[in-house]
Structure 1
Amino acid sequence: MPVAKIEPADSITGKEVPAPKVAIFSSRGPSIEYPTILKPDIAAPGVNILAAKQDGYVFNSGTSMATPHVAGVVALLKAQHPHWSHAALKSAIVTSASTKDEYGMPILAESLPRKVADPFDYGGGHINPNGAADPGLIYDIDPMDYNKFFACKIKKYEICNITTLPAYHLNLPSISIPELRHPIKVQREVTDVGEVDTLYQSSIQSPLGVQIDVEPPTLVFNATKKVNTFKVTMAPLWKVQGDYTFGSLTWYNEHHTKDPDSSPDHNPRFLCGCCVAMQKIT
């Protein structure tokens, strides 16, 4: 007589690997044409993604798999915040991204040799939809500013006052300096989209060989003051030719604190994190 035995189910997943991780084929920065604009902006799932094709399904990898994830997040954010501009949506995604893997360790990048990922690998980090929905502060940009910085090439027949300022003066949630020969000061404007009556304090992690100062170190928002500006001064500490080094400027308030040991389910909210890339050249 046949005998059946019922046992608890086991999930077989194979060898555990840290995730997320930047794939070896993923495009890297810096931007060759515009090195003063940090690229890439964000990282998203793009390896072995189940995708539909004409006669069934297939696992695919690449930008074509990662892009729909970001597009979906943007659609959800736009539905929740219909008045946000494109720049505001991008800012929310970039500044809320995670730089830790599922074990709370720094995200790795597949390369030769393998290394800890940096902003030239993943931009702001791995996309975090829940964090992007409530970023606290956003960096917004007037569309006309793009046209000015790109010498009126976007809309040639539109009235435009050409500026000679480099693109790192755009109100982006990042700063990229390809040749830091002398102190440089940039200004950023942030808009409070979170709770009313909040106070944000700055926390600086300076790149190796670079001193960063922020003024003011504290931003105060209330019902009548929703926008604040701050200035960041970056100065080389020594004259030596070197590669890019990275740091960050993070704004915190009492409701959003950084926990270095946070698990993926409790990611710290890197409010307005400015990734700073600098190259020291004599």
Structure 2
Amino acid sequence: MIVLNQPAQGHTTSSPAHILPASNIGHPARVEILDYYFNNQPYAFASIHFQGTKFGFIPSPAVASFSSRGPSRMNGGIIKPDVLAPGVNILAAWPRDVGPNPNPLATHTFNFESGTSMATPHVSGIVALVRSKHRGWTPAEIISAIVTTAVDSWSNSGDLIVDDNSYKTAGIYATGAGQVNPTRAMDPGLVFGLTLNDYIGYLCGLGYNDQEVSFTIGKQTSCNGVQYLTASQLNYPSIAVNFTRSVTSQTVSRTVKNVGDAREDYSAKITEPLGVTIYLSTYKLQFTRLNQEESYSIYFALNGAYPSQGSDMIGRGKIVWYSGKHVVTTPIAVRFT
């Protein structure tokens, strides 16, 4: 049996435990197979050859066709997803035996599964690793470590992660910062921090009422007297800004804390979104002690004509702080609305 992907499934294939000889095929192969079949009736012929596990498949990683994509209409502009994690055909523990003749008495069983249920444990494991090394870090700092150390390319030459739908470059609202990197997340060099009050100001700024904010954060609170924050004002490890035809520039600020070497200097390298110019208030960050904080501003300005409807209305870029030992990446999205 040949199981053919629908167009929306692209190149993403699953590995179910079939009860007969079968092969799952991506959509491009589906087109070739159907062309061959219809052009060679009644003599079309096929065979399946099992060649074991093949390593080094490219392009990899890639965004699964079923992976959720932003931008979110509810969060005020934060880039989501934050990161990617392995979630396709993951061999994992399973409650019962699988296959054509399952053993009802089997206890040590495994199965291939795909989805958020597979990606989430990878990230949870990284969180546990980071937490075990850095006991005093806040949840926001752990998120920062994972986001700023993710990898947005699939090759050593820097080719950006592709979308399994088409094998074309995936957008930033499909990849976030890129695929998680456990080793780098353990030692990120710099982290962006947030407090509970920051989140309260953000929720109030989104229009949540007192009851909704209290329910979300788990304790009684009020938006009265709270300084409202927009998504771009949060000290988040990624940056998203919105341009309109009447608003074509914006300034945001960020504060980083040194968690690398006590004495370490960073230089900025900027990849600008198409049609956008980025200026920094400083292109050097110099640290002389652990936990030292430094702040800087990022100025965004339209460069050229405003994009026309039908063109790519989301620009993608990044700021990379590089010290020679640490690489700290801030993903950037500029939306033209």
TM-score (norm 1): 0.84
What are the superposed Cα offsets for residues 116-141 of structure 1, whole Å, 9 maximum, x if unpaired? 12321121110000000110000010
Which residue, out of 43, 63, 70, partners 1:29?
70
Partner letter of residue 154 of structure 1? V
Match of 2:160 in 1: 106
- 1:170 is the counterpart of 2:234: yes
1: distance between equivalents of 2:291 and 2:52? 54
Q: Residue 214 of structure 1 contacts residue 230 of structure 1 at CA under 8 Å; is this kept in 2?
A: yes
What are the superposed Cα offsets for residues 175-196 of structure 1, whole Å, 9 maximum, x if unpaired? 1123352211001000000001
1: distance between equivalents of 2:222 and 2:286? 36
1: distance between equivalents of 2:241 and 2:182? 29
Match of 1:157 in 2: 220
Partner letter of residue 141 of structure 1? L
What are the superposed Cα offsets for residues 211-265 of structure 1, whole Å, 9 maximum, x if unpaired? 1001111111112771000100001123334510101111111334xxxxxxxxx
Bigger shift: 49-58 or 118-127?
49-58
Shift of residue 164, structure 1, vs aligned partner = 4.0
Partner letter of residue 169 of structure 1? Q
2: distance between equivalents of 1:30 and 1:154? 22
Change in Cα spacing, 1:13 to 1:171, as seen in structure 2 (3 Å) is same
Bigger shift: 145-154 or 21-30?
145-154
What are the superposed Cα offsets for residues 90-111 of structure 1, whole Å, 9 maximum, x if unpaired? 0000000111225653221112
- 1:20 is the counterpart of 2:84: no
1: distance between equivalents of 2:261 and 2:255? 18
- 1:245 is the counterpart of 2:323: no
Match of 1:134 in 2: 187
Shift of residue 165, structure 1, vs aligned partner = 3.7
1: distance between equivalents of 2:160 and 2:177? 13
- 1:203 is the counterpart of 2:276: no
Match of 1:72 in 2: 125
Bigger shift: 121-130 or 161-170?
161-170
Q: Residue 18 of structure 1 contacts residue 103 of structure 1 at CA under 8 Å; is this kept in 2?
A: no
**Root mean square deviation of aligned Cα:** 2.0
Partner letter of residue 332 of structure 2? V
Q: Residue 139 of structure 1 contacts residue 173 of structure 1 at CA under 8 Å; is this kept in 2?
A: yes
The aligned runs of 1:1-282 (5 Å cut-off) are 12-14=52-54, 16-55=57-96, 56-101=109-154, 104=157, 105-111=159-165, 113-151=166-204, 153-155=212-214, 157-158=220-221, 160=223, 161-180=225-244, 181-223=247-289, 226-237=292-303, 238-241=305-308, 242=311, 243-256=313-326, 269=327, 271=328, 273-281=329-337
Rg larger for: 2
Q: Residue 23 of structure 1 contacts residue 109 of structure 1 at CA under 8 Å; is this kept in 2?
A: yes
User: Which ranges of structure 2 fall in alignment gaps of 5 or more residues?
Assistant: 1-50, 97-108, 205-209
Change in Cα spacing, 1:103 to 1:199, as seen in structure 2 (3 Å) is closer
Secondary structure of the residue aligned to 1:87 is helix
Partner letter of residue 205 of structure 1? T
Q: Residue 183 of structure 1 contacts residue 234 of structure 1 at CA under 8 Å; is this kept in 2?
A: yes
Secondary structure of the residue aligned to 2:243 is coil
Q: Residue 262 of structure 2 contacts residue 290 of structure 2 at CA under 8 Å; is this kept in 1?
A: no
- Runs of 4+ in structure 1 displaced over 6 angstroms? none
Q: Residue 177 of structure 1 contacts residue 277 of structure 1 at CA under 8 Å; is this kept in 2?
A: yes
Shift of residue 204, structure 1, vs aligned partner = 0.9
Change in Cα spacing, 1:120 to 1:230, as seen in structure 2 (3 Å) is same
Percent identity, please.
Answer: 36
Match of 1:6 in 2: none
Secondary structure of the residue aligned to 2:132 is helix
Partner letter of residue 230 of structure 1? Y
Secondary structure of the residue aligned to 1:201 is strand
Secondary structure of the residue aligned to 1:121 is helix
Secondary structure of the residue aligned to 1:31 is coil
Change in Cα spacing, 1:224 to 1:45, as seen in structure 2 (3 Å) is closer
What are the superposed Cα offsets for residues 28-59 of structure 1, whole Å, 9 maximum, x if unpaired? 11112124111001111100111222223211
